[in-house]
A and B are shown apart, each in its own frame.
Chain A
Amino acid sequence: MTIRLSLRKRFRKLTANSKGFSSVIGTTFMVLVVMFLSTSVFLWTLSQNTMYNEALRAKNQEEADRRNENVVALSGNYSVNEVTDEVTVNVVLKNAGSVAVQIINLWVLDTDPSNRRYANKSLNLNLNPGNVTNLVEPSPLTVTIPGANANHTFASWFVTARGNTIPLEKEQGVIVARLAQGIGSMALDFYTFRYFKYKVGSGNILENYPNGTISFDIPKNTEVAYGVVLTNLDPKKETIAIDSHSLLWVIIPTSDVAHNRWWYIVNVASDGTISPTYSTISMVYGETKLLVFASENDLASSSFARQSTPNSVCTVPVFLLLHGTIGSTPYGQNLPFVSLYYS
């Protein structure tokens, strides 16, 4: 008896007693309510915090992408058409970063105190990592700035979709100009050397003008013309006039005596038609033009004749011989930087 019996008796008494039943129900109910509410509020708060953390993570990722953007604007220079007030920006864009970049805007500012004006151009350029885009002839970037002059100094920058700006630094032009002083006033865009074939049965009309075929591999024994993109980077900022004696000279290496071929400069209409006569081509400082060399004869003294590439497979050096005037003084320059492979 005793302790066990006593406990059983007390338990029976407790369960048989109806006093405080409502309190038990109330307490149970309250506990359930509190648990339900606290759990639901806790879970909901957790979901809200997850949302915030997700937004924060996305923000950090965007920030990291933004910081990883690294596009460089190389070989930049400006040319100005004073008649139409068009400023052309020639530049090579290289994505040296690790993320793809979309370029949405180009801004060009005329920093000359007499004409502090600016213009922008909407773009949609996508550069994957490692991509290089040549924004030079025949697809340069052109904006219109009223009152722009070739002697003015320009500043420009690109804007990416992530909000970064890519400056095209003024110093770039200075470096090119200094280089130009060493080798001559006219700079050749090495990357855009091209050749043209003639349209079949339609007179002297170049095929696919002005794009041509950008290549250093040329078909042998074929009538072709060559296109070179030149920019006037004369340190004295003089206008250069190119006369008809200018030519593209190819030395054909043979086992015995070297042979030569040459293509004299010609004027070409926008549809690719070669003019039978030649009128001097002038280029103001900073201006970039596509010059075409096609004639076997100097058009100042003879009529136009097509010139063919050599018959044999060979690699040849190319010399661009420019002749004319710079400002009011005579001008002559030899640009020797291209080699071609005829096959």
Chain B
Amino acid sequence: MDLRKAWKLLHGRRAVSVVVSNVILTGAVIAVSFVVLAWTQYRSSAYNAQYSEAMNADIAKLKERLAFEYVFYSGGNLTVYLMNCGTINDTIVKTVYVSTSTGELINVTSNITLMHFNGTQIADQDLDRGEEGYFVLSSLDLVTDTSYSIQVVTGRGSTFDHTFVA
């Protein structure tokens, strides 16, 4: 008796198609929904990562500060003494611009070697918090007793300006 009922249910076509179609459709909708959820989560994670990276870079940039302790020019060499007085480590001096007081650019140097005040080279070539160091720009032709500007650009993109008399 039961077998007959089961046989009838399996082979009967009335009303079954509606149930099956609803189940399939619902299943498909749920499956697609999960796919959409996963995709949106992936996209939002990517956005988060990008936003976070930009935000952290901005914060790091905000924390950077270099102080010019002394700028000394003699015999074509410009020696620039710096101190990292910001609140972040690993400040790299990437590019240095020297210009006249009227803004005319006279030198751009990107290959900077940082030294300790005792004359030894700084191993990691960056300035940590409170660390002092200097670099030398050579072969500069500056006029003595004339005012110049120097701009230091860090690896994070911060710029620090200073005016000195050669």
Q: Decide: B85 and A161 in contact? CB cutoff 8 A.
A: yes
Contact residues of A: prevailing secondary structure? helix
Interface size on A, as a range, is: 35 or more
The yes or no answer to A340 lying at the interface (CB within 8 A) is no
With A40-B44, A52-B59, A55-B62 as contacts: A163 and B26 at CB distance below 8 Å:
no
Name the residue of chain A whose CB is nearest to the CB of B58.
A52
A24 to B13, alpha carbons, bound, how many Å? 26
Q: Decide: A33 and B37 in contact? CB cutoff 8 A.
A: yes
A109 to B70, alpha carbons, bound, how many Å? 10
Q: Decide: A22 and B33 in contact? CB cutoff 8 A.
A: no
The yes or no answer to A107 lying at the interface (CB within 8 A) is yes
Q: Decide: A105 and B132 in contact? CB cutoff 8 A.
A: yes
Name the residue of chain A whose CB is nearest to the CB of B55.
A48
* Count: A-B pairs, CB below 8 Å: 86
The yes or no answer to A18 lying at the interface (CB within 8 A) is yes
Q: Decide: A51 and B29 in contact? CB cutoff 8 A.
A: no
Interface size on B, as a range, is: 35 or more
A42 to B35, alpha carbons, bound, how many Å? 22
With A40-B44, A51-B55 as contacts: A118 and B72 at CB distance below 8 Å:
yes
Q: Which of A145-177 contact B (CB under 8 A)?
A: 159, 161-165
The yes or no answer to A300 lying at the interface (CB within 8 A) is no
Q: Decide: A26 and B33 in contact? CB cutoff 8 A.
A: yes
Name the residue of chain B whose CB is nearest to the CB of A30.
B33
A40 to B47, alpha carbons, bound, how many Å? 12
* B33: chain A residues within 8 A (beta carbon): 26, 29-30, 33
With A21-B22, A22-B29, A29-B30 as contacts: A37 and B59 at CB distance below 8 Å:
no
**Interchain CB contact (< 8 A) of B87 among A22, A40, A62, A116:** A62
* A44: chain B residues within 8 A (beta carbon): 48
Q: Decide: A29 and B58 in contact? CB cutoff 8 A.
A: no
Least distance between A48 CB and chain B CB atoms (Å):
5
The yes or no answer to A25 lying at the interface (CB within 8 A) is yes
* B26: chain A residues within 8 A (beta carbon): 21-22, 25
Q: Which of B40-83 contact A (CB under 8 A)?
A: 40-41, 44, 47-48, 51-52, 55, 58-59, 62-63, 65-67, 69-70, 72, 74, 81, 83
With A25-B26, A51-B59, A118-B72 as contacts: A37 and B117 at CB distance below 8 Å:
no
The yes or no answer to A123 lying at the interface (CB within 8 A) is no
Contact with B along A22-48 (1 / 0, CB 8 A): 110110011001000100110011001
Least distance between A37 CB and chain B CB atoms (Å):
5
Contact residues of B: prevailing secondary structure? helix
With A51-B55, A51-B59, A107-B70 as contacts: A30 and B36 at CB distance below 8 Å:
yes
The yes or no answer to B12 lying at the interface (CB within 8 A) is no
Q: Decide: B63 and A159 in contact? CB cutoff 8 A.
A: no
The yes or no answer to B9 lying at the interface (CB within 8 A) is no
The yes or no answer to A120 lying at the interface (CB within 8 A) is yes
* A163: chain B residues within 8 A (beta carbon): 65-67, 83, 85
* A118: chain B residues within 8 A (beta carbon): 70, 72
**Interchain CB contact (< 8 A) of A159 among B18, B72, B83:** B83
Contact with A along B4-28 (1 / 0, CB 8 A): 0000000000000010001001101
The yes or no answer to B130 lying at the interface (CB within 8 A) is yes
A18 to B117, alpha carbons, bound, how many Å? 82
Most buried by A among B47, B59, B117: B59
* B66: chain A residues within 8 A (beta carbon): 163
A62 to B26, alpha carbons, bound, how many Å? 60
Contact with B along A265-286 (1 / 0, CB 8 A): 0000000000000000000000
* A25: chain B residues within 8 A (beta carbon): 26, 29-30
Q: Decide: A33 and B87 in contact? CB cutoff 8 A.
A: no
17 A-B pairs besides A52-B55, A116-B74 with CB distance below 8 A are: A21-B22, A21-B26, A22-B22, A22-B25, A25-B26, A26-B29, A29-B29, A37-B40, A41-B48, A58-B63, A59-B62, A62-B65, A104-B132, A109-B70, A159-B69, A159-B83, A165-B69
Q: List 12 A-B contacts (CB under 8 A).
A: A21-B25, A25-B26, A37-B41, A52-B58, A55-B59, A58-B87, A62-B65, A120-B117, A122-B117, A159-B67, A161-B130, A163-B67
10 tightest A-B contacts by CB?
Answer: A163-B67, A163-B85, A26-B29, A22-B25, A29-B33, A55-B59, A22-B26, A22-B29, A48-B55, A33-B37
